[in-house]
Structure 1
Amino acid sequence: MRSLPLNVLVAVVWALLAGEVSARQLLVGFLLGFGVLALFPRALGSGEYLRRSGAWLAFLVFFLRELTLANVQVALLALRPRPPLNAMIVGVPLRVSGDGPMTLLAALITLMPGTVALGFSADRRTLYAHAIGTASAQAARDSVLRVEHHLLRLGAPPSPEVSA
């Protein structure tokens, strides 16, 4: 049995045994199931599931931290009487490929205040983004590349033409 369905099955069985099928009981059951999968990864074949779950959790923590910092930076710019906006359009060479990962990258950087994805080059190897409030064009590129790096760690396929 695959690890995620097994984890969900343990959560449902836990909630049924507890006599209360609620979000709280399902969460407790899911965490218990995850604990069992973590205790016996070789026997249950859950090593890859645990690795991917850890990568998603790390990505969530990273993105929430970046989102918070971007909100604070833009709020501080908005509170200044004459903010130095340093508006620029930058081209960011991409390592990620595929419609889904590229769309996710564009959506994630657009969610962050101060950055808007404008589009991709014709060969789909460069993302163009508008950024404000960054010190330089390289700093704007680096912020997009940090998000791309974490997406690649989640398992997004890298572009075969560009070396990692």
Structure 2
Amino acid sequence: MSQSINARRKLNPLQKLPLLIWLVLVWGALWQDFSAGNLLFGALIALAVSQVFYLPPIELSGRFNVLQAVIFLLWFLKQVTVASCQVLYWAVAKGPKIRNAVIAVPLRSPSDLLMTAVGHVLSLIPGSLVVEVDRGCATLYVHAMNAPTPESVERVRTGIQDIEARLITVMGTKEELAELRSERTGASMVAYADILKSPDQQDSDQQSPDQQKDLGEGQ
């Protein structure tokens, strides 16, 4: 196992670059010193940390749409403003009577970068917070305020999946972008968790309630 990890490190040195840059920026921010000498020292520490402690590489999609990023930023600022007013209203008008929920949100992409981006956006918008991430099936578990009914839960889930869709337009892969465009022309969304289902499970899910009842009685 250790040999395969070391081989993968040597074969993919560029995959560490985003992580190293991020660690250097964090180092400079912690010391509040972005001088060349301090950043060079931070780079040496980042290299040492990445060699001693194995971390999953950040895989980039190879595309970044600047225009869509600007549109997303403006949309994000609007959402923060609207959500702040909503949370203020709920706190004043409903107080302890408000009903919250923890919602499982399956995502389209298994990309760690996209899952992390969606989680951070949710955490920055008042009223929602990621409490757990299932990387294996690309599912976020989100604590959402004011979700008392199944309809409101579905609205929250759809809103989070919309955040992922917006991020895909900014930095998703070409394949993810093509699937997103097919959704906009009428195709249904396919979550990564659904792709992981075995054919037997998918056939069972597609059976009618009467067929499932007959199978249960036969057993």
TM-score, normalised on structure 1? 0.60
Q: Which runs of 5 or more residues in structure 1 are unaligned?
A: 1-48
TM-superposed deviation, 1:97: 2.5
Q: Decide which of 115, 140, 145 is 2:161's aligned counterpart.
A: 145
For 1:72 and 1:147, the matched residues in 2 are separated by: 20
Q: Which runs of structure 1 show a deviation greater than 3 angstroms over 4 or more consecutive aligned residues?
A: 81-84
Contact 1:86/1:134, CA 8 A, preserved across alignment: yes
For 1:81 and 1:153, the matched residues in 2 are separated by: 37
Q: Decide which of 108, 120, 124 is 1:95's aligned counterpart.
A: 108
Equivalent positions of 1:9-158 (< 5 A) are: 52-80=65-93, 82=95, 84-121=97-134, 123-134=136-147, 136-157=152-173, 158=176
Moved more, 91-100 or 68-77: 91-100
Cα 1:55/1:75, change in 2 over 3 Å: same
**Identity over aligned pairs, percent:** 27
Cα 1:134/1:123, change in 2 over 3 Å: same
TM-score, normalised on structure 2? 0.46
Contact 1:131/1:140, CA 8 A, preserved across alignment: yes
Contact 2:105/2:161, CA 8 A, preserved across alignment: yes
> Quick check: which one's helix share is greater?
2
Larger Rg computed on CA atoms: 2
Cα 1:96/1:57, change in 2 over 3 Å: same
**CA RMSD in angstroms, aligned pairs only:** 2.7
Cα 1:147/1:122, change in 2 over 3 Å: closer
For 2:79 and 2:135, the matched residues in 1 are separated by: 29
